[in-house]
């Protein structure tokens, strides 16, 4: 039998279509991205650059000690998860990096969904690293071009599916405060109390009928208690502390701008305190998160009631907690404290700011909620949005009770979302208008 030598051009072709090239594509191009590739039609996980990061790390690992591929792939898997969260919650890169130091205040393990996603992502990365280590000799002989093309294809697919959800820059400033004329001078001129409720992750409903489920609670209270009622939308920038900057200080920004005491001259709490108001803030989570105990006083709050101080003053609150990853006090309990504070007599008018908590994603759905979200009779067809609306509904119910209380002296009430609703399901996310949050205003007749 005559040996037939492989021609040089055939050997060259093997670098692109041979076993090594196939292994490179499967192990580096597809396997670490497989989970997100499979769920992409149903869930949103924006990870545009991740496929190329894996390819770059694999090429680098060919020239490094064998163990390096495990470290590199593990690091990329962690970066991947961080980027997904950063984009989902509209965190600018600098803010996302700064927020890492607050990780000790949350319990990621409380969410089975988060645990599953993290575990699958890390496991696929490490399995890919192990297979790469076992086949690196063959992969070293392959051309990186095929796996680069696969990575580019995955990036193109991510862009196609997720471009609609990418955060858009907002240059022109606007706020619910400014739309409703709630300047310090205007508030002080009216002479009454002011309550601003910042509702966690309340975006702008795309369907007016779904928005009506919440607004009707306030409209009913308004009609019985002599308020005028209005509603609208406003753009947002960043996450929750960005919303505080928007509504309380009249500018785009976040907590980092106020920790050192800068940029506070135009902050509503500070200006109202200078005009003789009591300025009080409530939030049912730890004050360590985003260092609210530092910058809330800087922007003008004379009192800040966090989870720690509320439990100290009312120990019975410790027996009931709500949430999962962000486990804190129940919004209904904090709402009752806000109500009581507004009823307290005193010579000074009051400005009260309440940042809610329990609707933070991942949220814990109510057991047998009033909307029947897992039945065929729900007014909101998407179960996730329905369950989240039930949590918002608890806050709106508490506000309606406050508004309808005949003992309450004239009080204007603004209810506004902090930022978009960062839901993972495409069908749920599409129930909201991107780039906007809803607001509702109850103004007491003079």
How is the chain split into domains, by residue range? 8-165, 176-444
437, β-bridge pairs: 234
Give me the pLDDT at residue 424, please. Answer: 92
pLDDT tens digits, 413-439: 999 999 999 999 999 999 999 999 999
Q: Is 326 exposed, middle or buried (0-12, 13-18, 19+ CB in 10 A)?
A: buried
Global confidence as pTM: 0.92
Give the pLDDT band (50/70/90) at residue 287.
very high
**Is residue 192 within 8 Å of residue 349, measured between CB atoms?**
yes
Average pLDDT over residues 335-346: 96
**H or E element, residue 414:** strand 411-417
First to last CA, the chain: 106
Q: What is the CB neighbour count within 10 angstroms for residue 262?
A: 11
Q: What is the CB neighbour count within 10 angstroms for residue 325?
A: 17
Average pLDDT over residues 300-327: 94
**H or E element, residue 193:** strand 193-199
Give me the pLDDT at residue 182, please. Answer: 97
Choose the CATH number for 176-444 among 3.40.720.10, 3.40.50.300, 3.40.220.10, 3.40.50.2300.
3.40.720.10
Give the pLDDT band (50/70/90) at residue 15.
confident
Torsion of CA 62, 68, 74, 78, to 10 degrees: -90
Give the pLDDT band (50/70/90) at residue 368.
confident
Q: What is the CB neighbour count within 10 angstroms for residue 170?
A: 15
Give the pLDDT band (50/70/90) at residue 4.
very low
353, β-bridge pairs: 196, 281
Give me the pLDDT at residue 9, please. Answer: 52
Question: For residue 98, is the peptide bond before it cis, meaning its omega torsion is within 30 degrees of 0?
Answer: no
Q: Which of 74-78, 91-95, 111-115, 251-255 has the lowest mean pLDDT?
A: 91-95
pLDDT tens digits, 143-186: 999 999 999 999 999 999 998 887 666 678 999 999 999 999 99
């Amino acid at each position: 039998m005559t040996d037939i030598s492989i021609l040089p051009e055939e050997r060259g072709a093997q670098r692109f279509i041979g076993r090594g090239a196939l292994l490179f594509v499967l192990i580096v191009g597809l396997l670490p991205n497989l989970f997100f590739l499979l769920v992409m039609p149903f869930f949103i996980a924006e990870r545009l650059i991740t496929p190329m990061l894996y390819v770059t790390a694999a090429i680098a690992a060919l020239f490094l000690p064998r163990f390096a591929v495990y470290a590199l792939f593990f690091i990329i898997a962690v970066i991947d998860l961080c980027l997904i969260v950063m984009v989902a919650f509209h965190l600018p890169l600098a803010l996302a990096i700064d927020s890492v130091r607050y990780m000790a205040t949350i319990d990621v393990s409380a969410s089975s969904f988060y645990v599953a996603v993290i575990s699958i992502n890390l496991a696929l990365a490490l399995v890919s690293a192990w297979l790469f280590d076992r086949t690196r000799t063959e992969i070293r002989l392959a051309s990186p071009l095929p796996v680069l093309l696969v990575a580019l294809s995955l990036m193109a697919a991510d862009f196609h599916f997720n471009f609609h959800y990418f955060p858009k820059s907002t240059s022109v400033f606007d706020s619910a405060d400014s739309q409703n004329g709630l300047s310090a001078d205007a508030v002080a001129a009216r002479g009454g109390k002011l309550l601003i409720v910042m509702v966690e992750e309340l975006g702008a409903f795309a369907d007016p009928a779904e928005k009506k489920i919440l607004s009707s609670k306030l409209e009913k209270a308004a009609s019985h208690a002599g308020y005028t009622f209005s509603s609208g939308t406003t753009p947002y920038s960043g996450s929750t502390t960005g919303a505080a900057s928007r509504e309380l200080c009249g500018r785009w920004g976040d907590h980092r701008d106020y920790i050192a005491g800068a940029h506070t001259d135009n902050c509503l709490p500070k200006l109202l305190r200078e005009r003789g108001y009591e300025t009080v803030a409530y939030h049912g989570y730890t004050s360590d998160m985003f260092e609210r105990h530092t910058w809330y006083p800087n922007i003008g709050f004379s009192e800040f009631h966090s989870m720690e101080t509320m439990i100290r003053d009312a120990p019975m609150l410790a027996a009931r907690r709500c949430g999962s990853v962000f486990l804190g006090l129940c919004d209904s309990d904090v709402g009752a404290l806000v109500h009581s504070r507004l009823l307290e007599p005193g010579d000074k008018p009051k400005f009260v700011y309440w940042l809610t908590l329990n609707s933070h994603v991942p949220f814990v759905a109510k057991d047998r909620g009033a909307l029947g979200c897992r039945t065929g009779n729900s007014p909101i067809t998407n179960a996730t949005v329905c369950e989240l609306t039930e949590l918002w509904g608890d806050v709106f119910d508490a506000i309606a009770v406050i508004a309808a209380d005949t003992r309450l002296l004239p009080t204007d009430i603004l209810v506004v979302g902090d930022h978009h609703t960062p839901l993972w399901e495409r069908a749920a996310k599409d129930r909201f208008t991107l780039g906007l949050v809803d607001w509702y205003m109850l103004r007491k007749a003079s």
